[in-house]
Amino acid sequence: MDCVTLIPVKGFVAAKQRLSPVLDPMERSALAETMLNDLLAALAIWRERPDVAVVTGDDAAREMARRRGFNVIEDRECVGETEAIAAATSIASGWGAASTMVIPGDMPLVTADELAAVLNALPAPPAPGSVLVPAADRRGTNAVLRRPADLFPLRFGNDSFQPHWRAARSTGYPCAVLKLPGIGLDVDSPADLAALLREPIRTETQRLLLSWKVPERLAGRATSSAINAAATS
């Protein structure tokens, strides 16, 4: 086993709170589930994919992984993404994984080709090294590939890319940084929804948002903000 892809999923209940100005709680839950389904579908068609493990304590996410034939690593503590991935990395290493690729479950535009590009950017085995894919704003980290699997610790959050870059460089081994548009677009804010809907419509997530008339909601929100700004100027 050369690599295991780890997908941390906190769960769908109370998901994506930062989208509350546009989506209600039930919609945010459905959105989170649909985005994970799009990601798992991209993984499923990747013929040369490494093993996949969804790291979760959520029943629905667990069932989605198993329907695809993917592994599940139980996140019993549900403390946070950083802690869940640290524990999952240890488990994957125990399975014999030489490397781990960590990707979040909220990237609906990711493609098998992009995932393959991340894997192929690593030095030929067994050489140590890493690959980072930043979020579009270059603040967050949307994919991390490490060989060995625990080459450096991961610390996720809104501004994780620079700490990950420094940690990777400090190992003394090669670190490739890739700009990949599908992986780069994770959905956390209303602006991310707008960016997602500007792309060609090809995923269930995009079709779901269109069915909810999210473009109209975003436009209405922008108009209200402009009116309020004009009133206070």
Q: What is the rounded distance in angstroms from the CA atom of residue 6 to the CA atom of residue 178? A: 19
67 and 19 in contact (C-beta within 8 Å)? no
pTM of the model: 0.92
Question: In angstroms, how far apart are the furthest CA atoms of the chain?
Answer: 63
**Paired tokens of 182:** 């599908």
CA 204 to CA 35: how far, in whole Å? 8
pLDDT recorded at residue 195:
97
Q: What domain range is 157 assigned to?
A: 3-221
- What local confidence, expressed as pLDDT, does residue 228 receive? 52
- Determine, yes or no, domain membership for 209: yes
Q: Average the pLDDT over 100-125 and give the result.
A: 96
167 within some domain: yes
Query: To the nearest whole number, what is the mean pLDDT of the chain?
Result: 93
Separation between Cα atoms, residue 25 and residue 30, nearest integer Å: 9
pLDDT band at 221 (very low <50, low <70, confident <90, very high): confident
What band does 157 get if pLDDT is binned at 50, 70 and 90?
A: confident
Annotate 3-14 with DSSP letters as a single string.
EEEEEEE--STT
Higher pLDDT, 157 or 205: 205
Residue 232 lies inside a defined structural domain of this protein: no
227 belongs to a structural domain: no
Overall number of domains in the chain: 1
Instruction: Determine the Cα–Cα distance for residues 34 and 222; give it in Å rounded to an integer.
Output: 26
The CATH number for 95's domain is: 3.90.550.10
Cα–Cα distance between 147 and 4 in angstroms, integer? 11
Token pair recorded at residue 57: 């304590």
Q: Is residue 53 part of a domain?
A: yes
Mean pLDDT of 34-62: 96
| 48 has a pLDDT exceeding 50 | yes
On whether residue 231 sits in a domain, the answer given is no
Within-domain flag for 230? no
